Amino acid sequence: MPYEVIDNKKMYYEIHGEGEAIVFLNGIMMSTASWVPFLNLLSRDYKVVLVDLLDQGRSDKADVFYTQDMHVDMLNKLLIKLSIDKFNLLGISYGGEVAMLYALKYQERLNSLILSNTTAYTNKIMKHIGDSWEFAASLYDTTNFMKVTLPYIYSQKFYEENFQWINERIKLFKTAFTKEWYDGFRRAVKSADDLNILERLNEIKVPTLIISSELDVITPISYQKEIKNRIENSRWVEIKDAGHASMYEKPNEFSLAVLGFLKTLGYDVRIL
Amino acid sequence: MPYEVIDNKKMYYEIHGEGEAIVFLNGIMMSTASWVPFLNLLSRDYKVVLVDLLDQGRSDKADVFYTQDMHVDMLNKLLIKLSIDKFNLLGISYGGEVAMLYALKYQERLNSLILSNTTAYTNKIMKHIGDSWEFAASLYDTTNFMKVTLPYIYSQKFYEENFQWINERIKLFKTAFTKEWYDGFRRAVKSADDLNILERLNEIKVPTLIISSELDVITPISYQKEIKNRIENSRWVEIKDAGHASMYEKPNEFSLAVLGFLKTLGYDVRIL
Amino acid sequence: MPYEVIDNKKMYYEIHGEGEAIVFLNGIMMSTASWVPFLNLLSRDYKVVLVDLLDQGRSDKADVFYTQDMHVDMLNKLLIKLSIDKFNLLGISYGGEVAMLYALKYQERLNSLILSNTTAYTNKIMKHIGDSWEFAASLYDTTNFMKVTLPYIYSQKFYEENFQWINERIKLFKTAFTKEWYDGFRRAVKSADDLNILERLNEIKVPTLIISSELDVITPISYQKEIKNRIENSRWVEIKDAGHASMYEKPNEFSLAVLGFLKTLGYDVRIL
Amino acid sequence: MPYEVIDNKKMYYEIHGEGEAIVFLNGIMMSTASWVPFLNLLSRDYKVVLVDLLDQGRSDKADVFYTQDMHVDMLNKLLIKLSIDKFNLLGISYGGEVAMLYALKYQERLNSLILSNTTAYTNKIMKHIGDSWEFAASLYDTTNFMKVTLPYIYSQKFYEENFQWINERIKLFKTAFTKEWYDGFRRAVKSADDLNILERLNEIKVPTLIISSELDVITPISYQKEIKNRIENSRWVEIKDAGHASMYEKPNEFSLAVLGFLKTLGYDVRIL
Domain CATH number, residue B17: 3.40.50.1820
Q: How many CA atoms lie within 13 A of A155 on its CB side?
A: 25
Can you name the residues that pair with D87 across neighbouring β-strands? Answer: D21, D110
What 8-state DSSP symbol labels residue C33? G
**A223: nearest CA in chain B?**
B156
Q: What is the pLDDT of residue B271?
A: 84
Specify whether the backbone of C152 is left (phi greater than 0), alpha (psi in -120 to 50) or beta.
alpha
Q: How far apart are CA B127 and CA B131, in angstroms?
A: 6
Strand, coil or helix: C25: strand
- Cβ of C124 within 8 Å of Cβ of D160? The answer is yes
**Is the pLDDT score of C1 beyond 70?**
no
pLDDT score recorded for residue D1: 66
Q: Of B255, B215, B265, give the one whose Cα is nearest residue B235.
A: B265
The sign of the torsion formed by the CA atoms of A30, A34, A38, A39 equals: positive
Q: Is residue A29 part of a domain?
A: yes
For residue D58, CA distances in Å to B255, D9, D10 come to 62, 11, 9
Burial track D206-245 (b if 16+ CB lie within 10 A, e otherwise): bbbbbbbbbbbbbbbbebbebbbebbeebbbbbbbbbbbb
Strand partners, D110: D87
Q: Are D104 and D203 in contact (CB under 8 A)?
A: yes
What's the gap in Å between the CA of C23 and the closest CA on chain B?
18
Which residues of D lie inside 8 Å of A (Cβ-Cβ)? 37-38, 40-41, 45, 162, 165, 209, 212, 214, 225, 228, 235-241, 247-248, 250-261, 263-264, 267-272
Low-confidence stretches of chain A (pLDDT beneath 70): 1
Residues in CB range of C4: below 8 A, 6 or more apart: C10, C11, C13, C78, C81, C82
Chains D and B touch (3+ CB pairs under 8 A): no
CA distances from A157 to A163, B6, D130, D153 (A): 10, 40, 36, 32
Classify the C-alpha dihedral B146-B149-B153-B159 as positive or negative.
positive
Partner residues linked to C12 by β-bridges:
C3
Contact between chains at B264 and C256 (C-beta distance less than 8 A): yes
Distant-in-sequence, close-in-space partners of C34: CB < 8 Å, separation ≥ 6:
C26, C27, C247
Mutation pick from C127, C128, C163, C196 vs chain D, by most beta carbons of D within 10 Å, is C128
Q: Is beta strand C21-25 parallel, antiparallel or unpaired with respect to C47-51?
A: parallel
Q: Write down the pLDDT at residue C232.
A: 96
Specify the pLDDT at position B1: 66
pLDDT score at B102: 98
With 0-12 / 13-18 / 19 or more C-beta atoms within 10 angstroms meaning exposed / middle / buried, residue B205 is: middle
Chains adjacent to A (≥3 CB pairs closer than 8 angstroms): B, D
Are the C-beta atoms of D234 and A251 separated by less than 8 Å? no
Identify which of D132, D154, D166 has the shortest CB distance to residue C148.
D132
pLDDT of residue B29: 95
User: Residue D25 gets which letter from DSSP?
Assistant: E
**Is D134 inside any structural domain?**
no
CB B116 within 8 A of CB B208: no
Q: DSSP string of chain A?
A: --EEEETTEEEEEEEESSSEEEEEE--TT--GGGGGGGHHHHTTTEEEEEEPPTTSTTSPPPSS---HHHHHHHHHHHHHHTT--SEEEEEETHHHHHHHHHHHHHGGGEEEEEEES--SB--HHHHHHHHHHHHHHTTT-HHHHHHHHHHHHS-HHHHHHSHHHHHHHHHHHHHHS-HHHHHHHHHHHHHTTT-B-GGGGGG--S-EEEEEETT-SSS-HHHHHHHHHH-TTEEEEEETT--S-HHHH-HHHHHHHHHHHHHHTT------
- Within a domain: residue A130? no
In the chain, the amino acid numbered D46 is Y
Helix or strand (DSSP H, E) at C213: strand C208-213
Q: How far is residue B13's CA from residue B8's CA, in Å, rounded to a whole number?
A: 16
Candidates A22, A35, A254, A256, partner chain D, best to mutate (most D CBs within 10 A)? A256
String of DSSP letters for B79-142: HHHTT--SEEEEEETHHHHHHHHHHHHHGGGEEEEEEES--SB--HHHHHHHHHHHHHHTTT-H
Task: For residue A193, report the phi and psi dihedrals to the nearest 5 degrees.
Answer: -55, -40
Q: Which chains touch B (3 or more CB pairs under 8 A)?
A: A, C
Strand partners, D49: D15, D23
Neighbouring CB atoms inside 10 A of D21's CB total 21
Q: Residue C61, Cα to own-chain centre: how many angstroms?
A: 18
Packed helices D163-176 and C124-137: angle between N→C axes, nearest 10 degrees: 40
3-state DSSP assignment of residue D265: coil
Q: How far is CA B60 from CA B9, B30, B78, B181, in A?
A: 6, 15, 14, 10
Q: What is the model's pLDDT at position C272? A: 76
Domain that holds residue C42: 3-121+195-263
Which helix H or strand E contains B146, and what residues bound it? helix B142-153
Handedness of CA D125, D130, D133, D134 (dihedral sign): negative
Contact across the interface for C131 and D147, Cβ inside 8 Å: yes
**CA distances, B103 to each of B13, B203, B205, B212, B260 (Å):** 20, 9, 9, 19, 21
Helix axis angle for A124-137 and B142-153, nearest 10°, is 130
Number of domains making up chain C: 1
Residue A272 lies in a domain: no
- The complex's ipTM works out to 0.96
Burial of D32 (C-beta count, 10 Å sphere; 0-12/13-18/19+):
buried
What CA–CA distance (Å, rounded) separates C167 from C142? Answer: 11
**Beta strand D234-239 with C110-116: parallel, antiparallel or unpaired?**
unpaired
Q: Which amino acid is at A49?
A: V
pLDDT at A1: 65
Rounded Cα distance, B65 and A235, in Å: 53
Q: Which amino acid is at A36?
A: V
* Any domain includes C243: yes
Residues β-bridged to residue D50: D14, D24
Give domain status of residue D133, yes or no.
no
Per-residue pLDDT band for C271 (boundaries 50, 70, 90) equals confident
Question: In one letter, which amino acid is B249?
Answer: E
Touch of A by C (3+ CB pairs closer than 8 Å): no
Q: Look at residue A183 and tell me if it is in a domain.
A: no
Contact D135 C144 (CB under 8 A): yes
Task: State the best of B38, B226, B252 to mutate against chain C, taking most chain C CBs within 10 Å.
Answer: B252
* Cα B244 from Cα B257, distance rounded (Å): 15
Tens-digit pLDDT profile for chain B (272 aa)? Answer: 699 999 999 999 999 999 999 999 999 999 999 999 999 999 999 999 999 999 999 999 999 999 999 999 999 999 999 999 999 999 999 999 999 999 999 999 999 999 999 999 999 999 999 999 999 999 999 999 999 999 999 999 999 999 999 999 999 999 999 999 999 999 999 999 999 999 999 999 999 999 999 999 999 999 999 999 999 999 999 999 999 999 999 999 999 999 999 999 999 998 87
Question: For D70-94, what is the mean pLDDT?
Answer: 98
Distance CA B8, CA D195 (A): 66
List all residues 6 or more positions away from A134 whose beta carbon is below 8 Å from its beta carbon.
A185, A186, A189, A190
Question: Do the domain assignments include residue B145?
Answer: no
**What type of residue sits at position C236?**
W
| Dihedral in degrees, nearest 10, Cα atoms A32, A38, A44, A50 | -10
In whole angstroms, give the CA distance from residue B19 to residue A120: 53
Q: Work out the end-to-end distance of chain A between its first and last CA atoms, rounded to an integer number of angstroms.
A: 52
Task: Give the global pTM.
Answer: 0.96
- H helix or E strand, kind and range, residue D76: helix D68-81
Give the distance from residue D241's alpha carbon to the nearest chain C alpha carbon, in angstroms: 12
Residue-level pLDDT at A272: 76
d(CA D229, CA D204): 12
Taking residue D166's Cβ as centre, other Cβ atoms within 10 Å add up to 21
In this complex, do D132 and C154 lie within 8 Å of one another by their Cβ atoms?
A: no
User: Which of C254, C201, C209 has the alpha carbon at shortest distance from C234?
Assistant: C209
